[in-house]
Amino acid sequence: MKLIEKRVVLHFPGFEPLDGVAHRARYERSARQSAAAWGYSVETGAPEAGSDPLSFGVTTGEWAAEVAPAAAEAAPVAADVAPVAADKAAAGEGTGSPGWQTKSRIHMVDHDALVSRLRDGNTLSQIMVGFRSCAEIMLEGGMRGYFRHAWRFGLFFLFPFLLTALAIALTAQIAIMPFALGFSPWHMLWSGPLALCFFIFAFLPFSERFHTLHLFADWAMAVALGRMDRTDFNNWLEDRAAVVRKALDEQADEYVISSHSMGSSVAAHVIGILLEREPEIFKGKRVVFATLGSAILQCALMSSATLLRARVGLIARCPEISWLDVQCLTDSINFYKVPVVAVSGHTDAPEAKMILIRVKQMLTREHYRKIRKDQLRVHRQYVLGPDLKASFDFTLMTAGPMPASVFASPDEKRMPG
Any domain includes 1: no
pLDDT band at 64 (very low <50, low <70, confident <90, very high): low
Residue of 242, 229, 12 whose CA lies nearest to 111: 12
In a domain, 18, yes or no: yes
Euclidean distance between CA atoms 194 and 69, whole angstroms: 57
Q: What is the pLDDT of residues 186-206, one digit of tens each?
A: 888 999 999 999 999 999 999
Q: Which residues contact 358 (CB under 8 A, 6 or more apart)?
A: 328, 329, 330, 390
> Where is average pLDDT lowest: 69-78, 341-350, 382-391?
69-78
pLDDT for 402 equals 97
pLDDT attached to residue 17: 92
* Cβ-Cβ contacts under 8 Å for 161 (sequence gap 6 or more): 130, 131, 134
CA distance 5 to 94: 19
For residue 389, tell me if it sits in a domain: yes
Contact, 219 vs 133, CB < 8 A? yes
Task: State which residues form the domain around 176.
Answer: 114-219
Task: State the total domains in the chain.
Answer: 2
In angstroms, the CA 226 to CA 307 distance is: 8
Q: What is the structure's pLDDT at 98?
A: 58
Residue 246 lies in a domain: yes
Query: What average pLDDT does the segment 143-170 reach?
Result: 98
**Residue that is last in its domain, among 194, 219, 244:** 219
Which pLDDT value is given to residue 411?
85
Residue 413 included in any domain: no
Asked whether residue 191 falls in the same domain as residue 277, the answer is no
Q: Say if residue 270 is in the same domain as residue 373.
A: yes
Nearest to 65 by CA among 96, 44, 107: 96
What is the H or E stretch that residue 368 is in?
A: helix 365-371
Per-residue confidence (pLDDT) for residue 297, from 0 to 100: 98
Shared-domain flag, residues 63 and 209: no
Establish if 270 belongs to a structural domain.
Answer: yes
Q: Sheet holding 353-357: strands in order across?
A: 40-44, 54-62, 101-108, 6-12, 254-260, 287-292, 321-328, 353-357
Q: CB atoms < 10 A from the CB of 154, how many? A: 18
Phi, psi of 95 (to 5 degrees): -75, -20
pLDDT of 410? 85
Pairwise CA distance, residues 135 & 308, whole Å? 20
Instruction: Please give the Cα distance from 324 to 354 (Å, whole number).
Output: 6
Residues 167 and 98 in one domain: no
| Residues 236 and 215 occupy one common structural domain | no
Q: Kindly report the average pLDDT of the chain as a whole number.
A: 92
The percent of residues above 70 in pLDDT, for the chain, comes to: 92
pLDDT digits (tens, 9 = 90+) for 15-62: 999 999 999 999 999 999 999 999 999 999 999 999 999 999 999 998
Last residue of a domain, one of 190, 219, 248: 219
pLDDT top residue among 310 and 81: 310
DSSP three-state, residue 266: helix
* Domain match, 332 and 268 both: yes
Contact (Cβ atoms closer than 8 angstroms) between residue 302 and residue 141? yes
Is beta strand 254-260 parallel, antiparallel or unpaired with respect to 287-292? parallel
Residue 417: inside a domain: no
Q: Is residue 415 in some structural domain? A: no
Please tell me the predicted confidence (pLDDT) of residue 33: 98
- Looking at residue 164, its amino acid is T
What are 91-139's pLDDT values in tens digits?
333 334 458 999 999 999 999 999 999 999 999 999 999 999 999 999 9
Residues 305, 399 share a domain: yes
| Same-domain check for residues 236 and 282 | yes
The DSSP result for 275-308, as a single string, is HHH-TTTTTT--EEEEEES--THHHHTSTTTHHH
Smallest CA-to-CA distance from 115 within 23, 244, 38 is with: 23
Pairing of strands 54-62, 287-292: unpaired
Residue 79 has pLDDT above 90, yes or no: no
Whether the Cβ atoms of residue 136 and residue 223 lie closer than 8 Å to each other: yes
The confidence score (pLDDT) of residue 398 equals 98
Is the model's pLDDT at 214 over the cut of 50? yes
User: Do 262 and 376 sit in the same domain of this protein?
Assistant: yes
Whose CA is closest to 19, among 109, 120, 112, 118? Answer: 112
Residues 241 and 206 in one domain: no
> How far apart, in whole angstroms, are the C-alpha atoms of residue 319 and residue 199?
54
Determine the average pLDDT of the residues in 171-188: 89
375-399: per-residue pLDDT in tens?
Answer: 999 999 999 999 999 999 999 999 9
Are 188 and 284 contained in the same domain?
no
Let me know whether 251 and 374 are in one domain. yes
Q: What is the CATH number of the domain that holds 349?
A: 3.40.50
For the entire predicted model, the pTM comes to 0.91
Instruction: For residues 236-262, give the mean pLDDT.
Output: 98
Last residue of a domain, one of 164, 195, 219: 219
From residue 327, how far is each of 108, 141, 318, 337, 353 by CA, in Å? 22, 23, 22, 7, 10
